[in-house]
Amino acid sequence: MSENTVNQTLGEMPESAILARIFPRLPSSDATIVGPGDDCAVMQAPDGRFVVTTDMMVHGPDFRLEWSTPHQLGIKAAATNLSDVAAMGAKPTGMVVSIAAPKDTEVTFLEQIADGFHDACLELAPGCGVVGGDLSVSNTLTISVTAFGDLEGRQPLLRSGARPGDVVAVTGRLGLAGLGLAALFAGEKDTTNPLLLSAQLSPWPPISQGVAGALGGATSAMDISDSLIMDAGRIAGASGVVIVLDESALDDLAAHLAIECGVDASHARQAILYGGEDHALLMTFPADVALPPGFTALGHVVACADDETPHVNMGEGVLPENGWNPYTGWNGEIS
């Protein structure tokens, strides 16, 4: 392939030729019956049910090209959808990916995004792959993903299943992505701990722990994408309960994060509570069930008192629901 061919842009090639370069780089799905090439893919659904989620990443509010490589964009787009499937206790099986990009975008850019999807699926959800999608032209680079998962005969994990007496637990890291985002906004990319940048730009959430939690007796779950407090509050609201976080457990996590990343403990604690985008999994378990390996207890669930609104608290105080809002941006307290 000549250099001129390699560097062709989207506006210089027909869609069929672009797809012919991209599809061989994408991961295949073990659940595929009919793959890309027809009007629809056909996938197996052995359980008779499947979970489905969709997420859109738009240049500006969701990512910035001055921060992210196209390979990192592919990883992040895959990971954020896979974590939602995992939060339902399902095994990811496939994705469809649509990309709208400026017409002067080089096709190699899309190939690198495809490589990111390939690597994310290979490492995070073996057997899951991209089974189709769409390409279009837009002044704003946009990546939209719809992901599917197999419940394998289990009931889905819902946000509404938490019950008084349950233990609140998390699997995955908290605070890293929030600290990474704060550093990027501060213009400190070149001097920031690479661990923080990786957590923000190319996250590797604990996808397999979704099934592990379901098998371990979890009563509710969700992906922590906006912040621990906001997402715990969503479980509390859906379940009609109060989630009480253990201050000492949070202090232990903050102390470890502070040492690992070279920040003060109060800074680390704010990142854990309000940072978001780590895509850890938050679950509740009955108190008489041993937590599966990889889960850390963070608190417990109590019933709402008379006239009390579901919320999250720690110690004696109700915690403000700060975190990431796609319409207003980040409203946490990390600086």
User: pLDDT band for position 222 (50/70/90)?
Assistant: very high
74-85 pLDDT tens trace: 999 999 999 999
User: pLDDT band for position 3 (50/70/90)?
Assistant: low
Position 327 pLDDT exceeds 90 = no
Give the whole-angstrom CA distance, residue 109 versus residue 116.
11
Is 150 annotated to bind a ligand? Reply is no
Overall average pLDDT of the 167-194 stretch? 94
Q: What percent of the chain has pLDDT over 70?
A: 94
Q: Name which of 108, 114, 118, 137 is nearest 15 in CA terms.
A: 137
Query: What is the predicted pLDDT for the residue at 317?
Result: 79
Give the whole-angstrom CA distance, residue 25 versus residue 133.
14
User: Could you tell me which residue, 53 or 315, shows the higher pLDDT?
Assistant: 53
Position 335 pLDDT exceeds 60 = no
Lowest mean pLDDT among 146-150, 182-186, 213-217, 239-243: 182-186
Position 151 pLDDT exceeds 70 = yes
Is 266 annotated to bind a ligand? Reply is no
Is 225 annotated to bind a ligand? Reply is yes
Examine domains 3-150 and 159-330 and report if their fold is the same. Answer: no
Q: What are phi and psi of 193, to 5 degrees?
A: -50, 125
Overall average pLDDT of the 226-242 stretch? 96
Q: Name which of 163, 171, 170, 167 is nearest 299 in CA terms.
A: 167
Is 264 annotated to bind a ligand? Reply is no
Query: What is the predicted pLDDT for the residue at 332?
Result: 52
Is 144 annotated to bind a ligand? Reply is no
Q: What is the CATH number of domain 159-330?
A: 3.90.650.10
Beta carbons of 242 and 308 less than 8 angstroms apart? yes
User: pLDDT band for position 57 (50/70/90)?
Assistant: very high
Give the whole-angstrom CA distance, residue 178 versus residue 79.
16
Is 38 annotated to bind a ligand? Reply is no
Query: What is the predicted pLDDT for the residue at 280?
Result: 97
10-41 pLDDT tens trace: 889 988 899 889 989 988 999 999 988 888 99
Position 330 pLDDT exceeds 60 = no
Query: What is the predicted pLDDT for the residue at 132?
Result: 93
pLDDT averaged over every residue in the chain: 93
Is 252 annotated to bind a ligand? Reply is no
Is 54 annotated to bind a ligand? Reply is yes
pTM of the predicted protein model: 0.93
Position 2 pLDDT exceeds 70 = no
Query: What is the predicted pLDDT for the residue at 319?
Result: 82
Q: Name which of 167, 154, 179 is nearest 85 in CA terms.
A: 154
Q: What is the CATH number of domain 3-150?
A: 3.30.1330.10
Is 277 annotated to bind a ligand? Reply is yes
111-131 pLDDT tens trace: 999 999 999 999 999 999 999
Q: Which tokens sit at 285?
A: 């378990």
User: pLDDT band for position 144 (50/70/90)?
Assistant: very high
Could you give the C-alpha distances from 184 to 84, 180, 191, 264, 311, in angstroms and in order? Answer: 25, 6, 10, 18, 31
Domain ranges of the chain: 3-150, 159-330
Overall average pLDDT of the 60-87 stretch? 97
